[in-house]
Structure 1
């Protein structure tokens, strides 16, 4: 009953709230008006990084680049529905769980939240599947000045399995915000495969050029 009341309340707020981008027309479920939603830099294609196919919702350009940056670094959490529904708008594979890209404890303390975990929880409610976090991330060191091989090794060493995690899933969807080199995605995929995952699909909000 309480959940139904909350849903009706948020729907009512949306009906009177202006679009987060233009501020003129009323926002829909994704927090934008229909026109602004349709004019986002949609991509909806796969890119390949480290022999992995990554499904990307948008190009990493205005206004998505600014939206992701403010959501991630400036605690502008009002964009969470927009970003989650951008991923849900894709033709996602059927999986058993969603795995958000982990961040280190230092980054978590600095920001106060894992931006992808928030989005994963929204997606999990819509898809009716659990969020799975079987891997933690050690301190994220700067990649500046490292060779390509050194960068990959540096990232691979950051991911550590949680030994107390008993749940196991064979088909999972890993989500991240922006894909550039794909090194973090590759490293997390390897960690998940070592835990017994047979199919690790990946979706990102935006693909950098």
Structure 2
């Protein structure tokens, strides 16, 4: 009975809070009002990158592109619930663990958090599966002036496995914020394959052209 009362109270409170995007209408779903939620550039289909299908919630277009940039670079963490909610709308394969896209220590120090890990935490709670981080990322250098092949080789060299992970999973889901060429996901996938992962899927908030 107490759980039902708390659920009703939370639902009532949510209807009183303003949308985190427009700040006008009441929250309808994942902290967004109905109009803002419906106005997102929905895709809800996989895109093909590096011969791998990546489940994508949306196109990388307005207003989601602005929301992601503010969440990623400007510490607008109040968007976390809404963005994690986008991933929950997708029909994903059955998995044993979630692998957030790692960032380098330099990037982590600069931002103060890994945006993909924050997204992964929301999806982890929803799917009731653990977060697994067996791979680390070395310092990310500027790729300006590099050829496509050189860019791919540089990204592949950025990912290294942690020494002897205590736990291993065979069915995993990579979580990233935005996919463009898919090079980072491909490089991470190769590392996970060396850990005997046999079913590796990937999901992102938005797919860019």
TM-score (norm. length: structure 2): 0.93
Aligned residue for 1:74? 74
Output the CA distance in 1 between the equivalents of 2:142 and 2:7: 42
1:14 Cα deviation (Å)? 2.4
* 1:162 has 2:162 as partner: yes
Aligned residue for 1:202? 202
> What is the aligned-residue RMSD (CA, Å)?
1.9
SS in 1 for 2:18: coil
Output the CA distance in 2 between the equivalents of 1:9 and 1:161: 45
Aligned residue for 2:95? 95
**Structure 1 residues 88 and 180 mapped into 2: Cα distance closer, same or farther (>3 Å)?**
same
Output the CA distance in 2 between the equivalents of 1:6 and 1:149: 55
Aligned residue for 1:152? 152
String of CA shifts for 1:174-201, please: whole Å, max 9, x gaps.
0101111110010000000111100100
* 1:139 has 2:139 as partner: yes
Unaligned 5+ segments in structure 2 are none
SS in 2 for 1:120: helix
SS in 1 for 2:131: coil
String of CA shifts for 1:63-85, please: whole Å, max 9, x gaps.
00000000000000011111111
Tell me the matched-pair count.
Answer: 207
SS in 2 for 1:157: helix
1:166 Cα deviation (Å)? 1.0
Aligned residue for 1:23? 23
SS in 2 for 1:86: helix
Output the CA distance in 2 between the equivalents of 1:7 and 1:29: 15
C-alpha contact 2:29 2:37 (8 A) present in aligned 1: no
Range that drifts further, 41-50 or 26-35: 26-35
Output the CA distance in 1 between the equivalents of 2:14 and 2:107: 32
Q: What are the within-5 Å matches in structure 2 for residues 49-88 of structure 1?
A: 49-88=49-88
**Structure 1 segments of 4+ aligned residues over 4 angstroms from their partners:** 3-13
Range that drifts further, 120-129 or 23-32: 23-32
Aligned residue for 2:108? 108
Aligned residue for 1:119? 119
